[in-house]
Structure 1
Amino acid sequence: QNLLKSRLAHRKSREEIFRTISALRQQGLTCSEIGRRTGFPRRSVAKWLQFETPPDRKRAVLKRSSAWYFEEYLKQRWENGIRSGNALLPLIQERGYEGSLSNLQRLLAGWRRAEKQEQEGPTKEDQILALVRDPETGHAISPVIAAALCIKPRGKFTSEQARKVEVLKEGSPAFTTMRRLAMRFNGILRGRKADPLPAWIDDAIETDLAPIVRFARTLNRDIDAVRNAIEMEWSNGQAEGQINRLKTLKR
């Protein structure tokens, strides 16, 4: 069941991309222009446009060294309550399995994660990892771009960046929370007033978003130094610069 959900999600993603490519084609765009807008190679775009529905990806032929070769049998045993890799290994070895225990364990670990997520629902960490798709291109907004937009002031956005930020806010509550905290922290640094910092640290820790929590706890461990860095005009930047210069000369 979990595997079926994964495959359905993958198919839905391919259908969204196919619709985007088809819509751009109907606007009169060439394959090269569609490729530039979507990020797909021109040949891939041309191939997709030959079909009326998204083409299925050809799955590699499974071998007996792969635990997936015995997927149906393993699912039956899994549903019957046999879920230990050590217990399942001899059962599929009797049927010709030539792979290792670790190979089997990786398959089972994926099933366990999917089952746990289904029972508990998405975690805050899942919210961070979940990709948000740009509706205009059908492509997922990369974590690198999302991170850059998260810390960039709104006044410096291009129209394209502003649109992507709105898409990210709608699709990711975690992004909204992190951007709000990032802008508050930026305001503390620019204002050169450390008084709001403890409240910011408390709010950051309460989000339960692992990257933000780690950063906030690191600040809290050395809070006096952070306060001084915010409020004092002195910096060791000149010293560090000279050290780097000397290192460069020595090389």
Structure 2
Amino acid sequence: MHGGFGAGASEKGWQQNLVGVLCYKNLRERLKEVMDRKQSCLPEVEEHASDAIPAKAQGIKDTDAHQLAEPQAALASEKHYRASSPYPNQRSEGMRYDEFQQQVRRDKRVARYQDVHALLEQGFSQRAIARKLKLARATVRKFGQAEEYPEMHHPKRGERRSLLDPYKLYILQRWQQGCTNGAQLYDEINVRGFTGSAALLRMFLSELRKKHQEAGSALALTLDASRQTIKIPPSLPPKPRITCRMSATRASWLFVSQAGTLDEKQKQHVAQIRAGHPDLERAYQLSQDFVMMLAERRGADLDAWLTQAEHSGLPEFKKMANGIRLDYAAVKAAFSSEWSNGQVEAQVNCLKLQKRLVFGRANFDLLRLRVLCRV
């Protein structure tokens, strides 16, 4: 391998076009080397830059994402709703997922309730309805006797009581006195009548420890009116956010991303990186030119880019340019032709995966069966 590109890409007169993603991969590697060398010039950000990569940056169009989401939504509809349910399978804005699931289950029960009454009006017996709808006879009897749908009570958050609730005030007082040993606290509340598990106490102590760290002092912690949740006084100053230097991996991704795919915060990070050092500015210009050439299939501009990379003063890009010249014909084809051997490489990768799944012991006959079965 030379500079990340495969040597000998052309054999016996057959020229294989390098897949575009390999060109991007090689560029990312060279950029990471530049970023590692100029790590002290990278900006400090309030949070580690782990923002989700936008769909546009991944090469997924909005229409494609919409088309992918539609079958999943239809599948969810089949799972959660019966065909006879008159209720729409829509999650309103602001509704939590657990509330949405609870609403879906209620809609299914309402549909069963209506089916029971419809069959009763047709003269079916309770036993026949139970067999037909696959319900318990007690449920059929309950639905049949009810003039309206019998609602089920679901306690809301904060209404559910815990075995630990009567002891939380004591635990908080002991915590404020300096006792943070979970085993000792468990023994103390056991003496006072606690019958729950140690795991229940550990969950509460984990929450208590986090609140203690946020407040800075255990004396500032209190219990809410229901004595279930730890509260921090709102008068406390906000906890300062920890800053860290941006990683070379994240910075290199920003450099190979087209400006139109980045949000405002990411564009600000790009500007900060470029202003950090002249080498980073040159690396950005070279990277963007390379990405645009590859995206627009401008193979005629490749020679000019190689000359710029060799005279940029960046050893990483000079190394990349030398590697490209060794496989110039194949790289030029990747920049000018719409055809590639990507599908072949993908099938080879799948074949290797099938062999790894059986620890490399599959002979040709077994591999053939597994591949044909997958197809």
How high is the TM-score relative to the length of structure 1?
Answer: 0.46
Q: Give the greater-gyration-radius structure (CA).
A: 2
Pick 1 or 2: higher relative contact order, CA cutoff 8 A, min separation 6.
2
How high is the TM-score relative to the length of structure 2?
Answer: 0.32
Higher helix share: 1
